[in-house]
Amino acid sequence: MSAITTAFGLVFQPSVLVTILLAAIFGLVVGAIPGLTATMAIALLVPVTFFMDPVPAVGAMVTCSAMAIFAGDIPGTLLRIPGTPASAAYTDEAYTMTRNGEGEIALGANLLFSVIGGLFGTVVLILSAPVLAEVALQFSSFEYFWLALLGLTCAVFIGTASPVKGLVSLFIGLFVSTIGLNNPAGVPRFTFGNTELTGGVNFIAAMIGLFAVSEVFRFVISRSVQATPQAVVGNLFRGWGRMIVQYWRQQVRGNVLGTIIGALPGAGADIAAWVSYAVSKRLSRTPEKFGKGHVEGIVESTSANNAALAGAWVPALVFGIPGDSITAIVIGVLYLKNMNPGPTIFLENPQYIYAVFIIFILANLVMLPLGWAAIKGARTILRIPREILMPCILMFCIVGAFAINNSAFGVAVMLVFGVLGFLMEENDIPVAPCILGIVLGPMLEENFVTSMIKSDGSFLAFFERPIAAGLGVATLLVWFVPVLLAALRSRQAAIPREG
Amino acid sequence: MRVNDAVIGILLLAFAIATFAYARTLPAIPGQEYGAAVFPMLIAVGLGGCGVVLVASGLRHWQGAVVWSDWARTHHSWTKLAVVVGLVMTYILTASTIGFVPVSILVLLIFLMMMRVRWWIAAAAAIATTMLIQQTFGGLLRVPLPLGLLGP
């Protein structure tokens, strides 16, 4: 009980609450501006959290990401441009509703079900994380190796259009993680005598480059003209009671599916929203209404993307395996704050875990008033000229990358990854697996080498412990089932032609 | 600007071979079979494998080494990209000697003017942003932003 009391004490301090409030406003504004993603919001926030205590740092990131994912719905509804990729699944639907004069219903549904989805995901996080941590205490290097590999595998096969290009991104990330002295033998690798590189490639600088600087490059070459948003005049709270009652099934389904997809390593809020929208349409009694300004699919998928955020924290806190690119960044920050994720944190520093839970609940509750204010102020936010905003963002990126080690080397790393991220996205190579590779690389290598030494080089040892075997089989299934299915399908397609 | 998969594949393959060759030179831990070299070698094998697959698929859909998208056909876009990269490099090379404040104002001013922001708005935005960063990062968070010429 005392840990919970301590946690309340840690969170309910004026400085922490003000930090959370500021992070919330920042997340809302960044999420609402098209071209600036939730991940970018976190990337810009990390250099600032660097200088905070663990609890406000985590609080700022949790709140900022929740707000940004919700706020992405606003420009989607008013401009038909999703503010973050997580809103893309139902942007057309929401915009059609606005054109039909039902914009306030769409935005009201976005706000209401984002809050409910977020709270549902939080409850699952609170209930499941400690239980899983008990199990995880029994884990050895074999289990952790498979978990890390399963996480990376999911990132490649679930989150990407082309698994080969996802793999390329992943291997680039893993390669980057090998640079420096941080390896089982402690020898410098790929440093070529550069003393700055012996410490490894700083992941914060890399991430600012991949997620923020690459967006600046993309903006520079884009020819999009800033559109004027549609106006929303009506009462946002109209029809809330009716929607909760009428669409309770959709909500529950969206919440559950969102949390599960979020908890799957490598798949985050955007995939949760796409899958939920598709499921909603397939199971709907009136699928013909979808795409014509019908709120049903929005309810389900907007619940899912916010539920996914909390779901992603389950593997992140319990195993140190990120559920999506946002938690990948968070895990890096947790290590910096000596809040190393993993089952032992539940024993050694339970007050931090409870503090995270409390912050999650708080963040979702303050979303109601702040989200309402953001919708009301949307026209102003969307009028901020992006040609002024983007140069300023670049300067914040530079200073953020500099602040990590107070050296210009961080800025150079940021620039290299900015160019790399830009080129990768231009060629449909996703960047999310790359950041997961950088974060999980050291864990994967350490557990692999330790396991190989323990087992005297026998691969069979990786399947000898029951949980390790289960995880191993699951990983191999994700690898081989799609290949087998594709082979089967091509055989079936070939048979009638032969006959 | 879409580079054909085959070209990307060949680049990856070359990179993978170089990585593999370098990793082989890493010293082993005495008495252990698995040391610093194993993981980079596995990554190199994986990257090389992806390279081969990309070469195969790229050759099947060959439409030239590079397919230029709309933006890449204009000099304009390339110049803008080069200017942004150049501005960041200018910051890296000069900030420590000249100082954060002047370099930041200059970088912002050039970038803003390039985006066709009117000069007085650009100047105001450049100065305001620089001051904001100086106050928050330099003042509040105590990041030692280089003083350069303004220093003692």
DSSP letters for A254-285: HHHHHHHHHHSTT--HHHHHHHHHHHHHHH-S
* Chain B residues in contact with A223 (beta carbon < 8 A): 70-71
Report the run of H or E that residue B54 belongs to, with start and end: helix B38-60
Is pLDDT of A496 > 60? no
Pull the structure tokens for residue A48.
């600032």
Read off the pTM.
Answer: 0.86
Phi-psi region of A192 (alpha: psi -120 to 50; beta: other; left: phi over 0): left
Q: Is B130–A395 a contact, with Cβ atoms under 8 angstroms apart?
A: yes
Range of the structural domain that residue B82 is part of = 74-150
Q: Identify the pLDDT of residue A406.
A: 84
Residue of B80, B81, B92, B121 to mutate when probing chain A, most A C-beta within 10 A: B92
Beta-carbon contacts of residue A497 (< 8 Å; ≥ 6 apart): none
Same domain, B59 and B104: no
Distance, CA of B103 to CA of B89 (rounded, Å)? 11
CA closest to A413 among chain B residues: B92
Rg (CA), chain A: 23
Q: Identify the pLDDT of residue A197.
A: 83
* Chain A residues in contact with B27 (beta carbon < 8 A): 185, 187
Distance, CA of A367 to CA of A71 (rounded, Å)? 10
Q: Which range in A91-105, A349-363, A471-485, B67-81 is most confidently predicted, on average pLDDT?
A: A349-363
* Chain B residues in contact with A175 (beta carbon < 8 A): 19, 40, 43, 47
CA angle in degrees (0–180, nearest 5) for A282-A287-A288: 145
Q: Which residues of chain B have pLDDT under 70?
A: 152
CA closest to B25 among chain A residues: A189
Of B67, B90, B106, the domain-final residue: B67
Same domain, B97 and B63: no
* Chain B residues in contact with A213 (beta carbon < 8 A): 88
Q: Is B39–A183 a contact, with Cβ atoms under 8 angstroms apart?
A: yes
Same domain, B94 and B124: yes
ipTM for the whole complex: 0.93
Distance, CA of B111 to CA of B11 (rounded, Å)? 32
Same domain, B53 and B111: no
Residue of A18, A220, A426, A462 to mutate when probing chain B, most B C-beta within 10 A: A220
Q: How many helices (H) and strands (E) does chain B have?
A: 5, 2
Question: In terms of Cα–Cα distance, which of B67, B61, B43, B68 is closest to B6?
Answer: B61
Same domain, B78 and B145: yes
CA angle in degrees (0–180, nearest 5) for A264-A266-A268: 75
Question: In terms of Cα–Cα distance, which of A237, A216, A269, A212 is closest to A42?
Answer: A212
Beta-bridge partner residues of A180:
A189
Mean pLDDT of A247-263: 88
Of B45, B67, B89, the domain-final residue: B67
pLDDT tens-digit profile of A277-319? Answer: 888 888 888 888 888 888 888 889 999 988 998 888 888 888 8
* Total domains present in chain B: 2
Q: Identify the pLDDT of residue A176.
A: 93
Q: Is B12–A419 a contact, with Cβ atoms under 8 angstroms apart?
A: no
Q: Identify the pLDDT of residue A498.
A: 44
The alpha carbon of residue A226 is apart from the nearest alpha carbon of chain B, in Å, by 13
Mean pLDDT of A209-227: 82
Beta-carbon contacts of residue A406 (< 8 Å; ≥ 6 apart): B143, B144
Same domain, B84 and B146: yes
Same domain, B119 and B90: yes
Query: If DSSP codes are grouped into helix, strand and coil, which group holds residue A123?
Result: helix
Residue A394 has its nearest CB partner, among B111, B121, B122, at: B111
Largest CA distance in chain A: 76
The verdict on B63 touching A (C-beta cutoff 8 Å) is no
* Chain B residues in contact with A185 (beta carbon < 8 A): 26-29, 35-36
The alpha carbon of residue B2 is apart from the nearest alpha carbon of chain A, in Å, by 5
Is pLDDT of A499 > 50? no
Spatial contact of A126 and A355, defined as CB atoms under 8 Å apart? no
Same domain, B57 and B83: no
Same domain, B40 and B61: yes
Higher-confidence residue of A47 and B127: namely B127
Distance, CA of B59 to CA of A489 (rounded, Å)? 24
Same domain, B94 and B138: yes
* Chain A residues in contact with B139 (beta carbon < 8 A): none
Same domain, B60 and B13: yes
- DSSP assignment letter at A89: G
The alpha carbon of residue A183 is apart from the nearest alpha carbon of chain B, in Å, by 6
Is pLDDT of A157 > 50? yes
The verdict on B134 touching A (C-beta cutoff 8 Å) is no
Q: Is A406–B143 a contact, with Cβ atoms under 8 angstroms apart?
A: yes
Of B19, B51, B67, the domain-final residue: B67
The verdict on B103 touching A (C-beta cutoff 8 Å) is no
Q: Identify the pLDDT of residue B88.
A: 95
CA closest to B125 among chain A residues: A388
Same domain, B85 and B141: yes
